[in-house]
Structure 1
Amino acid sequence: MVGQVSHEVEVNVVASEAWEIYGTLRLAKVVEEAFSGIIEKVEVIEGDGGVGTVLKLTFATGTPGFSSLKEKFTKVDHEKRLKEVQVIEGGYLDVGFTLYRVRFEIIEKGDDSCIIKTTIEYDIKEEEAAAIATYVNIEPLAKVAELAKAHLIKNKAAKGDH
């Protein structure tokens, strides 16, 4: 069973500013902050934020679901402001997914506005689909986008940009 789910949020900052978070390792810090208490730590196993970078997410003891997972940056396109991250070990793969990929896109909307679009693409073995499809949840990534938005708006105000 192949599927996808998306979320979009508009942010009143130029696309290049939003990409400064999403196109770099800074996003890992936003994730760690957003889910303190759920995610114990986010470690860079290899890489500098470009294609091939591997992160390990370790979840807090007692968190339902997974203990950890590793994800790899499979695409980072600075021109298109597009990043794809794929789970390569643990987590979703341990419960029956054959593919779990997250795509982040920063879409320029106007002179001072952009859209943060987050898409989860997944593939589940047909016989396990009903049991594990509930693991697909865009809400945590929507929360990350909202936190990134708040951070960007706060920085914009601090700089005095209007």
Structure 2
Amino acid sequence: MATIAQNVNPDEVVKDVQFIEGDGGVGTILLFTLRSSGGFQKERISELDAVSREIGIEVVEGGYLNRGFSYFKPTFRLSAKSEHQILVNVKIRYESENEEMSEQIKAAESTHFNFFKKLEKYLLNGA
């Protein structure tokens, strides 16, 4: 299993995020509709630690599993930079037969940063 971690500026690749099942805790299923391909990716929240402010989201259908990955799990750690800024550290664990997946990994980071942007907008609009 490989692991990478880096900071990336997000691109607009997520069109929509929907809660399919659950209440936002472990086991919640999210459906990402992707703008770039018109496809989708289902993800399950597999880890949630309020103390360390860490969330792990495992891809369970579509998206990266259709692109040569057999396992794909981004983990996010949130930390306050200031009163109005949050830093998001992304670590992606994955398994793949193809060792040359760096461009897809960068796109994955971008996809998930967009999820946080949409979540922020939702929360700021009185969720």
User: Is TM more than 0.5 here?
Assistant: yes
Match of 1:39 among 8, 11, 14: 14
CA 1:147 to 1:94, structure 2 compared with 1: closer, same or farther past 3 Å?
A: closer
Change (3 A) 1:59 1:143: closer
- Match of residue 77 from structure 2: 105
Q: In the alignment, which residue of structure 1 is the partner of 2:2?
A: 2
Aligned runs of 1:31-70 on 2, under 5 Å?
Answer: 35=12, 38-60=13-35, 63-64=36-37, 67-70=39-42
* 1:47 CA drift (Å): 0.5
Match of residue 103 from structure 2 = 134
Quote the offset at 1:56 in angstroms.
Answer: 0.7
Change in 2 beyond 3 A, CA 1:6/1:72: same
**How many pairs does the alignment contain?**
120
Higher relative contact order (CA 8 A, sep 6+): 1
TM-score (norm 2): 0.71
Root-mean-square deviation (CA, aligned residues, Å) is 3.6
Unaligned runs of 5+ in 1: 9-30, 156-162
TM-score by length of 1: 0.57
What whole-Å deviation, never above 9, does each CA across 1:73-122 have from its counterpart, x for those lacking one?
00111122110011111110111112211111123578997643122222
Secondary structure of the residue aligned to 2:52 is coil
Structure 2 residues without counterparts, runs of 5 or longer: none
- 1:40–1:58 Cα contact (<8 Å) kept: yes
Name the structure with the higher strand share: 2
Paired position in structure 2 for 1:71:
43
Q: Which runs of 4+ in 1 moved over 6 A?
A: 109-113
User: How has the CA–CA distance of structure 1 residues 117 and 92 changed in structure 2, closer, same or farther, with 3 Å as cutoff?
Assistant: same
What does residue 27 of structure 1 align with?
none
